[in-house]
Structure 1
Amino acid sequence: MTRARVRWNGAAVTRATRTSAARGLRLGTEHVLQVARDRVPIEEGTLERSGTATVDEASLTGAVAFDTPYAVRQHEDMGLRHDAGRTAKFLELPMTEEADTVGEIIAAEIRRSLR
C-alpha cells in the first residue's frame, strides 16, 4: 500500500487565488476597455482617450469608464449618427457581450496560480 502525505497551506492558496483573481480582473477590464474603444464614437479621439479601466483589489471589483462632459449623452442617445462601426451603447454592449470572455480570463489566471 502506497502512502502519501499532503500538506495543505490554505492561507497561501487563498492569497495566491485572490492575487490571481485580481490580475485576471485587471486583464478582463482592459479587454472590455479595448473593445469599447473600438466602438466609441470618434470625432477627435478625446472620448476614446478618456477611457480607463480600474480594479479595486480589496473588493475584487472592476470598472471601465469614459470621462468627458459628453460621454453619457454619446452613450445613451440612440438618435445620434456615428461613423461605421461606432455606436451609442459603446460601453454597455461590450460589457454584456464580453462577460463570458472576462470570466474565462479570470479563471485562466486563477488556474495558472494553482499549478
Structure 2
Amino acid sequence: MSDWNLRLDDTVDESIKLAANRGLAIAAEYVLGESNKVIPIEEATLMRSGSVDRDPANNRVSIFYDVPYSVRQHEDMTLRHDPGRSAKFLERALSDHETIKRIIASAIRGEI
C-alpha cells in the first residue's frame, strides 16, 4: 500500500504543528471517505472496519481497514467486484495529493 508522509521540522511554531495535525486528521478522514466510495462491498464489513488512528506526537495518521482479508481485497487485482467497486481502494484515494494538501493548508491557515 502507499505510504504518504508529512514531516514537520522541530523549529516550526507549536500552533502551526497543532493546526497541521488537525489538518492531517481531517485529510485522513477525507481519504477514508473517498476510499469507502469504491471499496469492494458485499456485506459492508470491510467498509465498517475502516478507521483513522492519530499520533499527534509524531505528526502521523494511519488509515486502515481492520479485517483479516483487507490486504487481499486491496492488493488482488484478479478478484471480481460489483460495478464501481475495485481493488486498490485506499491507494486510489491517497492519489489525490492536491486535495489532501489543500485540506492541510486550510487547517494551518485556520479556515477549517
Structural mapping, 1:28-107, within 5 Å: 28-96=27-95, 98-107=96-105
Of 24-33 and 51-60, deviating more is: 51-60
Q: Which runs of 5+ in 1 are unaligned?
A: 1-12
Computed over aligned residues only, the root mean square deviation of the Cα atoms, in angstroms, reads: 1.4
Deviations 1:85-104 (A, max 9, x none): 100001111111x2211111
User: TM-score of the superposition, structure 1-length normalised?
Assistant: 0.82
Of 13-22 and 58-67, deviating more is: 13-22
User: Aligned residue for 1:109?
Assistant: 107
User: TM-score of the superposition, structure 2-length normalised?
Assistant: 0.84
User: Aligned residue for 2:9?
Assistant: none
Shift of 1:62: 1.4
**Percent of paired sites with the same residue:** 46
Deviations 1:64-102 (A, max 9, x none): 101111111111110111011100001111111x22111
Q: Which runs of 4+ in 1 moved over 4 A?
A: none
Q: Which runs of 5+ in 2 are unaligned?
A: 1-11
Distance 1:110 1:55 in 2: 17
**Would you say how many aligned residue pairs link Structure 1 and Structure 2?**
100
Distance 2:98 2:62 in 1: 16
Distance 1:62 1:103 in 2: 14
Bigger radius of gyration = 1
